[in-house]
Amino acid sequence: MPHIALPEHLPGITGLLEYSRVTAEPIRQLTQFILRGENSLSPAERELIATIVSHQNECRFCTAAHTAAADLLLGENETCEVMKQDIDAAPVSDKMKALLKLAKQVQQGGKAVTAESIANAKAQGATHTEIHDTVLIAGLFCLYNRYVDGMATVAPADPQFYTGLGQRLVQYGYNRLPNGYDHLKKQAQPS
């Protein structure tokens, strides 16, 4: 049960963002730009960064949600699966491998980032903006994961929930839905 009263039809992050819409606004703006805005990294690649960080933080809700989004954007579920076990074995570019390893260091702490991992990313062709954005995405998910788990929000057990959420993230991105989330109330009822 969450540590504070949150809307029951909105598990995970969504209930928190609706509970506190004023603080949610800049978080949503940042996420929409950094994961969906104009970028030389594809939305799928950026979702992989979100996924590896959430996985390392053992945040069930965020890991499942961003795995679902990445799977949909990639059109397969092998990459996320393999990446979580071994970045080097994942079917992604050498540049992405370097950036995912960098993100993993950021998850541990800003000071855990080594000159070698930055040099490796640059050697594999990562631009300074890509390095910047990787560090910021990894930092942002350290925020999300702590927010979601620190408030003890609910992570639904049903895998279908995350498929639906992933579809919403692919279709609408991270802005608040124009008409809010009341339409989800019915779906949350036990059938």
Partner 1 sequence: MAHIALPDESLPGIVGLFHFRPETAGPLQLLAETLLRGESPLPSGERELIASYVSLLNDTHFCHTSHGSAAMAHLGYDLSLIDDIKDGFQKIEVSPKLRALLNIAAKVQKSGKAVTDEDIAAARAEGAGDKEIHDTVLIAAAFCMFNRYVDGLGTWAPEANEAYREMGQRMAFTGYVRYPVKADVAEV
User: Considering only residues 98, 99, 142, 165, which one is a binding residue for partner 1 as defined by CB under 8 A?
Assistant: 142
Is residue 35 a contact point for partner 1 (CB under 8 A)? no
Helix (H) or strand (E) holding 50: helix 43-56
Q: How far is the CB of 190 from partner 1 (least distance, A)?
A: 26
Which of 13, 57, 20 lies closest to 169 in space, CA to CA? 13
Count CA atoms closer than 13 A to 65's CA, side-chain side: 24
Q: How far is 113 from 110, CA to CA, in rounded Å?
A: 6
3-class SS at 117? Answer: helix
In terms of phi and psi (left: phi > 0; alpha: psi -120 to 50; beta: otherwise), the region of 113 is beta
Contacts of 173 (CB under 8 A, 6+ apart): 32, 35, 36
DSSP 9: T
Is residue 144 a contact point for partner 1 (CB under 8 A)? yes
Query: Which parts of 40-59 interact with partner 1 (CB under 8 A)?
Result: 57-59
Q: How far is the CB of 76 from partner 1 (least distance, A)?
A: 30
Q: How far is the CB of 41 from partner 1 (least distance, A)?
A: 14
89 versus 123: smaller Cβ distance to partner 1? 123
Is residue 75 a contact point for partner 1 (CB under 8 A)? no
Is residue 129 a contact point for partner 1 (CB under 8 A)? yes
Which of 65, 39, 37 lies closest to 50 in space, CA to CA? 65
59 versus 74: smaller Cβ distance to partner 1? 59
Query: Which parts of 92-111 interact with partner 1 (CB under 8 A)?
Result: 105-106, 109-111
User: Considering only residues 75, 159, 178, 190, which one is a binding residue for partner 1 as defined by CB under 8 A?
Assistant: 178
48 versus 74: smaller Cβ distance to partner 1? 48
